[in-house]
Chain A
Amino acid sequence: MFEIFRRLWALNWAEQWQYRANLLMYLLFWLVSPIVYLAVWTTVAQSQGSVNGLTANDFAAYYMVLLVVDILTSQITIHVLAPEIQNGNLSNRLLLPVHPVLTQVLVNNIAFKALNLIALAPIWLALYLLFRPALNLSALHLALAVPALILAFGILFLLGSALTLVAFWTTRVWALWNFYSAVFMLFAGHFVPLALLPPVLQTIAKALPFSYTLHFPIQLILGKLGPQEMALNFGMQFVWLALAYVIFRVTWRAGVRQFSAVGA
């Protein structure tokens, strides 16, 4: 199994490396909205000292960490898998003795992530020098962030894959993805730290998986969480990982049965 992943990595890394110019464009797209929100909230915080106890520096630190966490936990499964389902190329992969999504698509996601991180590093440094947030990082919190980030990626990868599998039934999977993205942005803490959402929305955020995949790792790295909150959030991550896995398995089984490749 290790050998399979090693080969897949070599393949996918080469493939992603080939599209490095596209990757820079993708990065540009994806950087703009966090920087806009950073600017908006620091302006608000500066004009009145603080917002709900958060200073301009808190916002800058939050969004600077968000840039890294979001790359580490996000997934591009729909871009990889939906075309394969729609043009029928998935048939070839189904013949292989390994699960196509949990090997090929997974490794492709990780290769993309690795290249993105390399490209982000100089941009992040430049932004850091422009905004100069005071970051209080501790080795303990960074160490705890590692499992939190892995779990978060696991949850988002499985949910994103399950959503992509809807392409087995309908060609409208992109519209669904659009909707999912909007829900994600609001409830994951992409737009604003969750403490600033109205109480109703905060309650909804706690019931959805997204805050545990973005907001929790950020707050963990920033050292904003006590031991009890950490334990609770880790617990929720495990619950959501299990749930996401079940959702993914069920959709996959039903979807493959439904699948009839183009031309068949």
Chain B
Amino acid sequence: MIADFFFVLFAVMAIGGAISMVLARNPVASLLYLVVAFFALSGTFVLLDAHFIAAVNLIVYAGAIMVLFLFVIMLLNLGRSEKVDLRGPLNRIVAITVAGAFFALLFVALSAGSQTEMAGGMGQATVDAMLQSRGAVGVVADPMFRSYLVPFEITSLLLLAAIVGAIVLARRRAP
């Protein structure tokens, strides 16, 4: 009952934050709305008993990556002239098509699988028992370092690509 109330609260916050982010004229305001959306998503993760993911989402996304976005906004020097360059009729058609296709895909994917399947077929009691015995971090850590070892190692390659990409892009001399 309380969980339902908080789910609706966080859902409204997340969607409202996302819409405000797109509609805000000031890029820094967009960024702050995105932080609101991330905060609401963390709340949703808590409701799903994904406590570690909720904390990491706040620390890494709402904290560190938002600061990176702020850096990028300052580098781009936005806000001086509010040029509207994506408002042509063709762009609008493309945008509506892409958004519609994505929505349809989500709708099909979500209506195909029932809720129990998405939760791995576990009931609330099983989840609570697992959290009790292994802790909020251990529940994530166990599959991550055993069953999903290869994706974990590939993550390091992804991070390596991020380092190399940032350096190559930023150290390039202007022609």
User: Are these two chains actual partners, yes or no?
Assistant: no
Chain B residues proximal to chain A, CB less than 8 Å: none
Chain A residues proximal to chain B, CB less than 8 Å: none
